[in-house]
Amino acid sequence: KKAVQNLERQMSRGEAEELLSKAEDYKGVKLLVSRMTSVNADALRETADFLRDKLGSGVIVLGTVTEDKPFFLCMVTPDLIAKGYHAGNIVKKLSQIAGGGGGGKPNMAQGGGRDKSKLDEALQAVKGMI
């Protein structure tokens, strides 16, 4: 089990390196929204931590399917929290699109849903929340 978790972490880190180039400037905010290959929640958190540290300033929203359900994670850097961005509010809305719930703190939040077919639709809705 530990070997599988380590492999997932390594794969997530490699995927994260590629994602950095996909960050875009949207309405003055560096935004990185992506669907990740199927990883567990811990690996997704580690990936988001890595991306947050590399971006410096931005909103990161990652989604994946784990245990056949959609899972979302959002991180917001402190400078953008001061401007009113709130990871918990973003995740709450995303999770609702996928038939679930979630929330958290202004800097980090996670949630999930019941309908994995709504994962991409939810991720596409992020720009409307910025």
For the segment 71-83, what is each residue's pLDDT rounded down to a tens digit? 999 999 999 999 9
Note the pLDDT of residue 62: 94
pLDDT at 8 over 90: no
When mean pLDDT is compared across 5-9, 71-75, 88-92, 122-126, the lowest value belongs to 5-9
Give pairs for 11-18: CB < 8 Å, separation 24+: 11/37, 11/39, 11/43, 12/36, 12/39, 12/43, 12/44, 12/46, 12/47, 13/46, 13/47, 13/50, 15/47, 16/47, 16/50, 16/51
Note the pLDDT of residue 40: 76
pLDDT at 121 over 70: yes
In this prediction, residues 40-68 reach a mean pLDDT of 89
CATH number of 2-129: 3.10.310.40
Of all residues in the chain, what percent are helix, strand and coil, respectively (each to 5)? Answer: 50, 25, 25
User: Side chain identity at 13, as an amino acid letter?
Assistant: R
Note the pLDDT of residue 120: 94
The encoded tokens of residue 90 equal 């973003």
The encoded tokens of residue 14 equal 């490699």
Are the beta carbons of 102 and 70 closer than 8 angstroms? Answer: no
- Number of Cβ atoms within 10 Å of the Cβ of 128: 7
What phi and psi values does residue 126 have, to the nearest 5 degrees? -60, -45
